[in-house]
């Protein structure tokens, strides 16, 4: 079992002061092997917090990140899966299926992870898996009146990804399970 934390759009400290305490309790050091972040961490302190959770942290540059050395997009291989990572502000229109599919083909990945919309999504399209972890802090977004804090944990088991979506709804953490099996 390989656990991959997928999150992004934290916007700390500009739009939120930190992760929700209920999420912080769930994210314990030593349990997660990899972190894939869609960007907008904003500060080095937020990056250092993630490094404290797992030593293998990959970040795509968001439009509000202070660190300009993060790449615009990145591919990472975890187990049998090639995973693409991109913040998503470069995808026009934002979150558009055809634009996402074009990026997935350009990167030649099994799983494409993007953010920017601050809204969780996970779906399969043409045999590939797409994830938008939403905003882990529930940070304000100009096009969304209500932003639900969310993050994703992927459990990679040979040719299958079991995705657990954590959403803070009111005062409760709701968890949803989604499976994606890689085609041979």
The overall pTM is greater than 0.75 = yes
Q: To the nearest whole number, what is the mean pLDDT of the chain?
A: 91
pLDDT in tens, 28-85: 888 999 999 998 988 889 999 999 999 999 999 988 878 888 988 999 999 999 999 9
**pLDDT at residue 63, rounded to an integer:** 87
pLDDT in tens, 29-43: 889 999 999 989 888
pLDDT in tens, 128-159: 999 999 999 988 777 777 889 999 999 999 89
Q: Tell me the DSSP string of the chain.
A: -EEEEEE----TTTT-SSS-HHHHHH--TTS-SEEEE-S---SHHHHHHHHHH-SEEEEPPPTT-S-TTS-SEEEEEETTEEEEEE-STTSSSTT-HHHHHHHHHHHT-SEEEE-SS---EEEEETTEEEEE---SS---BTTBSS---EEEEEEEETTEEEEEEEEEETTEEEEEEEEEE---
Q: Is the pLDDT of residue 184 over 70?
A: no
């Amino acid at each position: 079992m390989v656990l991959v934390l997928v999150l992004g759009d934290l916007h700390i400290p500009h739009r939120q002061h930190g992760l929700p305490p209920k999420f912080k309790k769930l994210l314990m050091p030593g349990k997660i092997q990899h972190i894939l972040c869609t960007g907008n961490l904003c500060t080095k302190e937020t990056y250092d917090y993630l490094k404290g959770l797992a030593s293998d942290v990959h970040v795509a540059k968001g439009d509000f990140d202070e660190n300009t050395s993060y790449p615009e997009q990145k591919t990472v291989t975890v187990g049998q899966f090639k995973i693409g990572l991109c913040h998503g502000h470069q995808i026009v229109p934002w979150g558009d299926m055809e634009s996402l599919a074009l990026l997935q083909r350009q990167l030649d990945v099994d799983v494409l992870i993007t953010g920017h919309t601050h809204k969780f999504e996970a779906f399969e399209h043409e045999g590939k898996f797409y994830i938008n972890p939403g905003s882990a802090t529930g940070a304000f977004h100009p096009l969304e009146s209500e932003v639900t804090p969310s993050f994703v944990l992927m459990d990679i088991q040979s040719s299958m990804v079991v995705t657990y979506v954590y959403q803070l709804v009111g005062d409760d953490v709701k968890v949803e399970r989604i499976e994606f099996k890689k085609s041979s």
